[in-house]
Structure 1
Amino acid sequence: MKVRLPFITILLCLITISSIVNAQDFIVKGVVLEKGSNVRVALASITNLRTKTGVTSNDLGMFQLKAAIGDTLQIGKTYLNDQRILVLGRQDILIYMIRGSTTLNEVTILGSTKKQDLADIKRDFQSKGVFNGGKSSFLSAVFNPINGLYNLIGKDPKNARRFSRYADNEIKQSQIDVYFNPSIIKNNTELRGDTLEKYMIDYRPEFQKAQYWNSYDYIKYIKESSKKFIDTLGKGK
């Protein structure tokens, strides 16, 4: 004897299964752009309103965040109007933000990054005849002996070598700043004000450890280390 389930029962089962599947978290990827100019927006804050976790976009305006279908993402940037996006599927998301009407016309948002600024200074050294960061390779010393001698004893080459060391360190620290910054820490902890500043100084990750981290590694580190930091403050009272 065949048992026929009512149509409404089958429909409810399908809806339940669909809800379970859709509720599963996955990695949503996206790009934040300024509407009208298509300029990529760096360091925009993206927060999942359901999980209360957030990240910031990188120098190319790109981000990755854990979400589920139906979640709402809130995107914010100082000079742009806040935007909310509903996650409808696993496809990549393009987010267009509109410049705020209260922004003064004379305010110019410069597109240069710290890396570009450092590159400009390096080019300035090169324009003075200082090549290879103030270091002469064997072949350059052979084919350009005057430049090789200048790189060895000149004042600018010495400054170039010093700047090269500084630039390398700044680039490494900039990589950490993309994810270890007040915006992301506030999105994932209760730290504020002086306590936040002290935490950022005491628990700033070392580049040797953080150079291979992604946004989720940083968030995990922030949550775990901030808990240790708060516990330490409690013991110090």
Structure 2
Amino acid sequence: MKLKPFCIPATLLLFMAFNVSAQQGFVLKGVVMERGTTNRITSGEVVNKRTEGSVNTNDLGLFQIKVNMGDTLFVFKNEFANAEVVVQSSKDLIIYLNRSTDLREVNIYGESKKQELDGMRQEYRNKGSFYAGKPPLLSYLFSPLTAIYELFGRTPRNARHFGKFYSNELQQTEIDGFFNESIIKKHTDLKDKDLENFMLNYRPDYSVASKWTEYDAIKYIRDSYKKYTDTLRKK
């Protein structure tokens, strides 16, 4: 008895070929543009969320990144809203970003805060505290009276305390740029008391946030949000 040759349907062959090519990966080319304009966005960052590999757009807004079919690309650039795009084709990709007013407000707040602190620091200088209560060693040789005043005077003592406050406020303002109510609301469904508790309990340290990109901040917020909701469920 002769066995009939086994035939694989053409549709199954196509599916298998597609599945293999999707797993192999390829280099995707694309461009990032500002929505509603012909402006190309330079120095934007494009991240493959699966591999965490990233590239920057060049002077023409172009990028190339290795992906698999179905990967999600996370795209961000200062002063623009973030975007996520799922790779569904090997064709060149156009990604549009909207201008963000939220980030601009945070930056303006940071600039005005620094100007306010700089003005207060200048007041101490106007009152005669030149070294903020920390005179350099050479001042004891060339201007000993000033050095002694800087060590024991009331204004220099206050200036010394203000110097610590100044540094801390600038650090906290930098953290606010990544971890603020507007960004957290955009990437979670927290509000009211839950939002306050989350911001209080999961505020990052400056040593961590100072090394962040915007992608790192959003990843931290989402990971922390999962921990927060898991904790609420256990309670």
Q: TM-score, normalised by structure 2?
A: 0.59
For 1:74, which of 88, 91, 98 is the aligned residue? 98
Structure 1: where are the runs of 5+ without partners?
A: 1-19, 32-50, 81-108
Instruction: Name the residue aligned to 2:5.
Output: none
Instruction: Give 1:110 shift.
Output: 8.9
Instruction: Name the residue aligned to 1:134.
Output: 133
Asked if the contact 2:82/2:97 (under 8 Å) is kept, the reply is no
Q: Identity rate of aligned residues, in percent?
A: 37
Q: TM-score, normalised by structure 1?
A: 0.59
Map 1:48-59; keep pairs closer than 5 Å.
57=78
Asked if the contact 1:185/1:222 (under 8 Å) is kept, the reply is yes
Instruction: Give 1:54 shift.
Output: 9.1
Instruction: Name the residue aligned to 2:167.
Output: 168
Map 1:1-237; keep pairs closer than 5 Å.
21=28, 57=78, 62=79, 65=82, 69-77=93-101, 112-236=111-235
**Could you list the per-position Cα deviations for residues 122-169 of structure 1 after superposition, in whole angstroms to 9, with x for gaps in the alignment?**
111111110122111111222112211111111011100000001111
Amino acid at match of 2:200: I
Structure 2: where are the runs of 5+ without partners?
A: 1-26, 34-40, 45-71, 86-92
Amino acid at match of 1:161: R
Evaluate the alpha carbon distance shift between residue 55 and residue 188 of structure 1 in structure 2; reply closer, same or farther with a 3 A threshold.
Answer: farther
Q: Distance in 1 between matches of 2:228 and 2:198?
A: 7
Higher-RCO chain (CA-CA 8 Å, sequence separation at least 6): 1
Q: Kindly tell me the number of residue pairs found equivalent between the two proteins.
A: 163
Q: Distance in 1 between matches of 2:80 and 2:32?
A: 16
Evaluate the alpha carbon distance shift between residue 110 and residue 218 of structure 1 in structure 2; reply closer, same or farther with a 3 A threshold.
Answer: closer
Rg: which structure is higher? 2
Instruction: Give 1:77 shift.
Output: 3.2
Evaluate the alpha carbon distance shift between residue 208 and residue 133 of structure 1 in structure 2; reply closer, same or farther with a 3 A threshold.
Answer: same
Q: Distance in 2 between matches of 1:54 and 1:233?
A: 31
Evaluate the alpha carbon distance shift between residue 124 and residue 216 of structure 1 in structure 2; reply closer, same or farther with a 3 A threshold.
Answer: same
- 3-state SS, counterpart of residue 177 of structure 1: helix
Asked if the contact 2:132/2:159 (under 8 Å) is kept, the reply is yes
Q: Distance in 2 between matches of 1:70 and 1:22?
A: 9
Evaluate the alpha carbon distance shift between residue 158 and residue 123 of structure 1 in structure 2; reply closer, same or farther with a 3 A threshold.
Answer: same
- 3-state SS, counterpart of residue 113 of structure 1: helix
Asked if the contact 2:32/2:95 (under 8 Å) is kept, the reply is no
Cα RMSD over matched residues? 3.4
